Amino acid sequence: MPAWLRSRTTRDVLVALIVVFGVGSVAMLLAHASPIDGFSALFNGALGNTSEISETLVQTTALLFPALGIALAFRAGLFNIGAEGQLLLGGLAAGVLGAALPLPGIIIIPVALLAGATVGGLWGGLAGFLRARFGANEVIATLMLNVIAALLATYLVGGPLKEPGAGASETPSLAPSAWLPTILPDTRLTISFVIAIVLALALRYVFTRTVFGYELRAAGEAPEAARRAGINLSRTALTAMALSGAMAGLGGATIVMGVLHRFNTGLSPGYGFIAIAVALVGNLDPLFIIIAAFAFGILQSGAIAMQAEAHVPRDVVGIIEGLVIIALAGRRIVASRKTS
C-alpha cells in the first residue's frame, strides 16, 4: 500500500466519503428517493449560486469555531464533547450583553464576542479543572455539562432574563449596533467567517511554532515523557479545556450576533457535535479543518434543498453526520485505549 493511503488523514477522509455517499445512498433509498437526485439537489442547494454558497459559508463558520476548539483539546489529549454546551452559553452571554448595552458597534461587538468566549471558556475550563484537580474524566464531565448548559439556558431565558412580551425561548433582539457587519451584501455572511479563518491560521501557528503549542502536543502525545520534561500536565489540561471552550463560546456569540440577532435556545442544530467529526476529518490540523468544515457546511446547507427538491428527509444528513462521528471518533477512542 502506498504511504499516502496508509496515512491517518487519508483513511479518515476515505471513511468519511464512504459513509457520506454509501450510507447516504442507502438512507435515501430507504426513504424511497433516488440517491442521484438526492445528492444533486444537495450539492445544487449548497453551491448553486452566490446566495447558496454564502449560506454554506455561514454553516462552515458555525462549525469551524467549535471544531478548532475540539482540535486544540484533542491535541492536548483531551476529548471535549462539551462544545455544544460551551457554544450555547457563549451565545447566551453575547445575546444578553448585546441586548442590554446600547453601545456603539466598535465597543459592543468586541465586548460581546469576548463575553461569549469568556463564558464558553469558563464552561470548558470547569471540565478542565475537574480533570486537573480530581482526575475526573473530561468526556463524562463535558457530556454532563452539556445537559446542564442546555437546562441553564432554558431556565435563564424563560425566567430571570425574561422580557415581558418576548418569546419563551429567546432573549430580546440585539441592538443593530451589536450585529456583526456582513461581508457580502444581502447575505448572512459576516466578518465572523474572516475571524474563524484567522483563528484557524493562528491556531496552526500556535501548534507548530510556539512553546505553548509544543508543550500542549507533548502532553497529548506522551504525557509521561512530557511530565518528566517539566511540563505541568494539570495546568495544560486546564488551559486546553478553557481555550477549547472559549473557541466554542466565541462561535456561539457569532451565531447570535451575526445570524439570529438574538439568543435562542435552539440556536445550534448540534454544531458542537458535528464539529467533532469536522475536527477529526481535518486530522486536528487547523488548515484541513477549514476544508472539512466547508464539506460539512455543504451537507448542512444542502439538506433543506434536498428535502424540498428530491423529497429526501433532511434527517438523512443528520444520520450521515452521526455515522461519520461514530466511525471516526470511535476509531480514535479505540486507538487511544490501545496505546494507554
Q: Enumerate residues 6+ apart whose C-beta is below 8 A from 50.
A: 184, 187
Residue among 193 and 207 whose Cβ is closer to other proteins = 207
Give me the amino acid identity at 178. A
CA 11/CA 19 separation, integer angstroms: 12
The three state secondary structure string of 140-196 is HHHHHHHHHHHHHHHHHHHCCCCCCCCCCCECCCCCHHHCCCECCCCCCCEHHHHHH
CB of 225 to other proteins, least distance (A): 6
CB of 338 to other proteins, least distance (A): 14
Residue among 188 and 227 whose Cβ is closer to other proteins = 227
Question: Which of 256, 250, 238 is closest to 67 using CA atoms?
Answer: 250
What cell does 181 get?
457587519
CB of 337 to other proteins, least distance (A): 15
Residue among 74 and 193 whose Cβ is closer to other proteins = 74
Residue among 217 and 262 whose Cβ is closer to other proteins = 217
CA 91/CA 113 separation, integer angstroms: 9
Which residue ranges make up the site for other proteins (CB under 8 A)? 209-212, 214-215, 217-218, 221-222, 224-232
Question: Sign of the CA dihedral 79, 85, 88, 90?
Answer: negative
Residue among 57 and 226 whose Cβ is closer to other proteins = 226
CB of 246 to other proteins, least distance (A): 18
CB of 208 to other proteins, least distance (A): 9
